Amino acid sequence: MNYLKTYLKGMAMGAADVVPGVSGGTIAFITGILDQLLDSIKKITPGLAGMIKQQGIKAAFMHINGPFLVCVFGGILTSILTLARVISYLLHSHPIPVWSFFFGLILISVWHMLKQVSGFSLGRLALFGCGVVFAWGITMLNPIALEMTYLNVFLGGCIAITAMLLPGISGSFILLLLGLYTSVVGAVKSFDIAIMATFLAGAVTGLLSFSHVLSLLLRKYHDATLVFLTGLMLGTLGKIWPWKETLSFRENSKGELVPLDERVLSPFNYEHVTGEPSLLSAAVVAMLAGILLVWGLERFAHKGR
């Protein structure tokens, strides 16, 4: 295995995870490492302690495909630490081209996933529709305000981490919906060990448990699971649509006002409603760049297999 390629795929996952509304799981699927990632994670069980005692740490590390996991999560961490500020700046200063880029990325990803399905039946079309409605409904929800308790932080970690494995759903957006985003980010910023440890425990619990569920679904109901996940991806496009009018704001961890409730506009009346240029040409170029990136990642993944 080429560990450098795996590391770069992990970096692509991390870059996607930084953006609200875009899932690292989508990139994992496109680059062909989702199945291997699921298989590796689900091998981390309590029985691993017995293997360490009998065969040693090295044998246990290789049993869970440790080098692969180190490369993937190392790449994810690298992207989060190095690209978070850059992407946040671009989203703030050039929102329409950036959102257009991710819109194109998700749009072509939907096509990429659907072409892996062997055939379509009425049941699969219904599952696809359910995925679209479910994801669209989530993006239209107003955030709730969960109390900042250790139990809620733990459960928030369990739910949000599924985005790393599940194409179509963004973990940061889920935290925002739960009303925990600002608190969790603030805890990281202030280095609150208790909150960070609780969130990490929830994330690990969710990661280890959900990997078994998703792996089982993909193994036994591959095509049905794919069409539902693809529906989830398509349903999130409303969140990523570049031309929106902000109706209300929320305060982030830095005390800055950022969009909360938004209304989708067409690029042709965006300037009339907001007074800002629609930048349609730049948006089309950025969207095509996102499409070309996924096409390139797909070719890159095939060469690495």
Per residue in 175-186, pLDDT tens? 777 777 767 767
Nearest-angstrom CA–CA distance, 260 and 201: 28
What phi, psi does 256 have (nearest 5°)?
-90, 150
Q: Is residue 105 predicted with pLDDT exceeding 60?
A: yes
Instruction: Write down the mean pLDDT value for the chain.
Output: 80
Q: Is residue 286 predicted with pLDDT exceeding 90?
A: yes
Tokens of 273: 């409603």
Domain ranges of the chain: 3-303
Query: Using one digit for the tens of pLDDT, what is the confidence trace for 184-195?
Result: 767 766 777 888
* Predicted local distance difference test score (pLDDT) of residue 120: 82
pLDDT band, very low/low/confident/very high, at 135 (cuts 50, 70, 90) = confident
Average pLDDT on 237-242 reads 82
Query: Using one digit for the tens of pLDDT, what is the confidence trace for 141-163?
Result: 666 666 778 888 898 888 888 76
Q: Is the pTM of this model over 0.85?
A: no
Q: Is residue 170 predicted with pLDDT exceeding 80?
A: no
* Closest to 181 (Cα-Cα) out of 206, 163, 156: 156
Lowest mean pLDDT among 63-67, 173-177, 200-204, 258-262: 258-262
* Predicted local distance difference test score (pLDDT) of residue 70: 92
Cβ-Cβ contacts under 8 Å for 209 (sequence gap 6 or more): 158
pLDDT band, very low/low/confident/very high, at 302 (cuts 50, 70, 90) = low
* Closest to 218 (Cα-Cα) out of 36, 44, 62, 70: 36
Q: Is residue 129 predicted with pLDDT exceeding 60?
A: yes
